[in-house]
Structure 1
Amino acid sequence: MTTLDELRRSPNALAAHYSRFRVADRLLLSGHSHQAWPDVALEGQVRAFEDAAECVDEKWGRAFAKADEVRAGYRTLLGDPAGEIALGANTHELVIRFLSALDLPGRPRLVTTDGEFHTLRRQLARLREASVDVVAVPAEPADTLAERLAEQIDGRTAAVLVSAVLFETSRIVPGLGILAAACRERSVELLVDGYHALGAVPLPIHDLGLGDAWIVGGGYKYLQLGEGNCFLRLPRQAEDLRPVITGWYAEFDALAERRPGLVGYGPGATRFAGSTYDPTSNYRAARVFAFFAEQGLTPEFLRQSYLHQTGLLAEEFDALDAPEELITRDRTAPRTEFGGFVSLRTPRAGELQRALAGRGVLTDSRGEFLRFGPAPYLSDEQLVSSVAALGEALRAL
């Protein structure tokens, strides 16, 4: 098992497991977007090919077993051992299935925030154009966001959609359990986007009062699972819904008994299933989930690692003493109220991102936010060097 001290040293104790991504030789501060995959991920991809070559069309039994391992990994992260988990290639297709199950003709109102990732932002904006009443509550200040969302719920509201961690600012949204209770009281569905939480911020949904909530997320970012590994966690009331947008896998278990009449659905999460997919991603994800277990990379352990790394990045940034009108960060809350990356607000975010890339530091920018995303395989020395490169870029402006 790796210790936190071993992660802070140079070289980082985990770095050897990521040799193909050369994490020890590069300053990859894009961990909030695309983390490196451990070398063992390739074992999963090769195994997918070998199973297909050996079994041809009979490979699906083995592929479905890998999918079950991925579901088990997400259940563990959510603290939801009996949870119903639907899988998808991306969160958009899963959100679409969720939206298609709502009674939008009868309750044509959706409540969200203006700080949601583009998956929700764009789709909800398009629904607004199609005459759905979409209310976007300002995401800032995050401290009161859940309360302000609850105030917007009325008898016409079908669902509330909000992130657990805001993708631009890294702020954790507190009080989601209170919001969930308000939704429950009015028979409104609550969908929580957990993408920027899982792997960086523990999300034990029952402890947080989110047992009745839908949780969507994926492993492209902090979990290092790569593309094609997203999930939708279904609450109990999902068994009463009939989503419009599903694939033939949604009745896979009942095909032999199919009868004319209403479209049928399988049990549990099956009713939100899609159709034929590339199982390679699940093979890779199952192997990476196993690697995390082998290395002791639990949600609690990873949280301590990210708190240290983001704290160090924030301290090094403050030491630059850069003009606040040029670049600044949110100092209104302690680091414990932020997720797994540091967000710097600057009108020259894109320019600075490009300047950093030219200095060998990979970050990203979203609008006026320049985001530094560490990862557990980076050493303290690498983080300090990355902020030093930012200082050079700022002086060159």
Structure 2
Amino acid sequence: MSLAEHYTRFRVADRLLLTGHSHQAWPDVAREAALEAYDDAALAVDEKWGRALERAERLRDGVRALLGDPAAAVALGTNTHELVVRFLSALDLRSRPRLVSTDGEFHSARRQLDRLAEAGVEVVKVATEPVATLAERIAAAVDDRTAAVVVSSVLFETSRRVPGLDAVAAACASTGTELLVDAYHQLGVVPLSLSDAGLTDAWVVGGGYKYLQLGEGNCFLRLPGHAEDLRPVVTGWYAEFGDLSEAPAGTVAYARGSDRFAGSTYDPTSHYRAARVLDFFAEQGLTPPRLREISLHQRGLLASAFDALGLPDSLVTRDRDTPADGFGGFLTLFTPEAARLQAALAERGVLTDSRGPHLRFGPAPYLTDDQLTTAMAVLGEVAADLMPGG
């Protein structure tokens, strides 16, 4: 059985879904899990939470495996924004009113940081280009007034991997600065070991909406060991669960471990879905190394098929200087006509997306080589219509 046959509801064999960097299809077992969540609620009513928490722990175990950190404390959230906000609310921005980030962060961080800047927090945005020196330049921007660094391990617009984040971690450690790494565009396409990457003291945020095929509502924040010292201002009543840390009289107490950064009541259906999909990945042998192998092949095939089109660089081009392993899981094309090309591709049945001048093609493990080359051939046809005489 081909992998595509496990995705009958999304009809991946019949559609050219090059949106794998944004929203991968869900395997059929995800639908079965959603029905199981309903049935558990109907059977047990409010007692369903014991069953639901088992699925939440399966998700945490999956995150630990992806990070190569089997003992990690992992807080869960419905989206990365709420987790980032809880993290930011735990910082002492009065005594360290400075945040360092880049000009290439995803909107959940970008918008929040921009609003904090309006409110008087100093926000330093380091230019992502050239990416080869980005970590070095971030590290140089960190000082003893910096509360935190917020940086992605793979940039969401260009798919470029950010090398040398261990240097940022070292700069943060020497100044008492927190480091938050957004690994959303890494997990599921590029293996990550926090110890090998020098990020054992980092906070790591990510989610399952993209490459992991877990769908919405499955985001997570990995807490470093010293998280026990922080008290997030934005805190839900779930943070009172479990073993509470000692707190002075008249102050709010927090749970130890991952519940310290917990929120409140949520829809557990997402965790049922995550647990089943994680098991499905294991059954299919879709381990991080295997997923990387597939990703390198598919992205390389797309790049080669694009080059074979021979389109003028003035219309559309790509980064040919960075080696293949310097990218995450999608191919970015640079074009002033990104939105027009995306719309034209969609009319021809090829679903991609665009961000400003970036036209993004995101493959996925269930797509065949023929589907990828067909999609790129359609790009050649629609691009020809935009050329003089087209």
Q: Which string of whole-angstrom CA distances, capped at 9 and with x for unpartnered residues, describes residues 354-388 of structure 1? A: 00000100000001100000000000000000000
Q: Which residue of structure 2 aligns with residue 278 of structure 1?
A: 267
The SS at the match of 2:8 is helix
- Report the count of equivalent residues: 385
The SS at the match of 1:86 is strand
The answer to whether structure 1 residue 388 and structure 2 residue 365 are counterparts is: no
The answer to whether structure 1 residue 178 and structure 2 residue 167 are counterparts is: yes
The answer to whether structure 1 residue 93 and structure 2 residue 82 are counterparts is: yes
**Structure 1 residue 209 displacement after superposition:** 0.6
Give the CA RMSD over aligned residues.
1.3
**Structure 1 residue 259 displacement after superposition:** 9.8
Q: Which residue of structure 1 aligns with residue 200 of structure 2?
A: 211
The SS at the match of 1:19 is coil
Match runs of 1:113-192 below 5 Å: 113-192=102-181
Q: Which residue of structure 2 aligns with residue 35 of structure 1?
A: 24
**Structure 1 residue 325 displacement after superposition:** 1.1
Q: Please give the alpha-carbon distance, in whole angstroms, between the structure 2 residues aligned to 1:192 and 1:220.
A: 17
Q: Which residue of structure 2 aligns with residue 364 of structure 1?
A: 353
Unaligned runs of 5+ in 1: 1-11
Q: 2:330 aligns with which of 331, 341, 358?
A: 341
- Kept in 1, the 8 Å contact 2:135–2:165? The answer is yes
Q: Which residue of structure 2 aligns with residue 107 of structure 1?
A: 96
Q: Which residue of structure 2 aligns with residue 293 of structure 1?
A: 282
The SS at the match of 2:180 is strand
Q: Which residue of structure 2 aligns with residue 193 of structure 1?
A: 182
Unaligned runs of 5+ in 2: none
Q: Please give the alpha-carbon distance, in whole angstroms, between the structure 2 residues aligned to 1:213 and 1:372.
A: 30
Q: Which residue of structure 2 aligns with residue 311 of structure 1?
A: 300
Letter in 2 for 1:302: L
Q: Please give the alpha-carbon distance, in whole angstroms, between the structure 2 residues aligned to 1:254 and 1:276.
A: 19
Q: Which residue of structure 2 aligns with residue 5 of structure 1?
A: none
Letter in 2 for 1:120: A
The answer to whether structure 1 residue 222 and structure 2 residue 206 are counterparts is: no
Letter in 2 for 1:75: R
Q: Which string of whole-angstrom CA distances, capped at 9 and with x for unpartnered residues, describes residues 234-256 of structure 1? A: 0011001000001000012369x
The SS at the match of 1:178 is helix
C-alpha spacing 1:174/1:258, structure 2 compared with 1 (3 Å): closer
The SS at the match of 1:54 is helix
Q: Percent identity?
A: 68
Q: Which string of whole-angstrom CA distances, capped at 9 and with x for unpartnered residues, describes residues 73-102 of structure 1? A: 000000000000000000000000000000
* TM-score when normalising by structure 2: 0.97
More deviation, 260-269/130-139: 260-269
- Kept in 1, the 8 Å contact 2:243–2:256? The answer is no
The SS at the match of 1:111 is strand
Q: Please give the alpha-carbon distance, in whole angstroms, between the structure 1 residues aligned to 2:167 and 2:53.
A: 37
Letter in 2 for 1:116: E
Q: Which string of whole-angstrom CA distances, capped at 9 and with x for unpartnered residues, describes residues 189-247 of structure 1? A: 00000000000111111111100000000000000000000000000110010000010
Q: 1:240 aligns with which of 218, 226, 229?
A: 229
**Structure 1 residue 300 displacement after superposition:** 0.4
The answer to whether structure 1 residue 325 and structure 2 residue 314 are counterparts is: yes
Q: Please give the alpha-carbon distance, in whole angstroms, between the structure 2 residues aligned to 1:153 and 1:146.
A: 11
Q: 1:376 aligns with which of 362, 365, 376?
A: 365
Letter in 1 for 2:258: A
Q: Please give the alpha-carbon distance, in whole angstroms, between the structure 2 residues aligned to 1:178 and 1:129.
A: 29
Q: Which string of whole-angstrom CA distances, capped at 9 and with x for unpartnered residues, describes residues 108-149 of structure 1? A: 000000000001111000000001000000011111100000
Letter in 2 for 1:294: E
Q: Please give the alpha-carbon distance, in whole angstroms, between the structure 2 residues aligned to 1:217 and 1:247.
A: 20
* TM-score when normalising by structure 1: 0.95
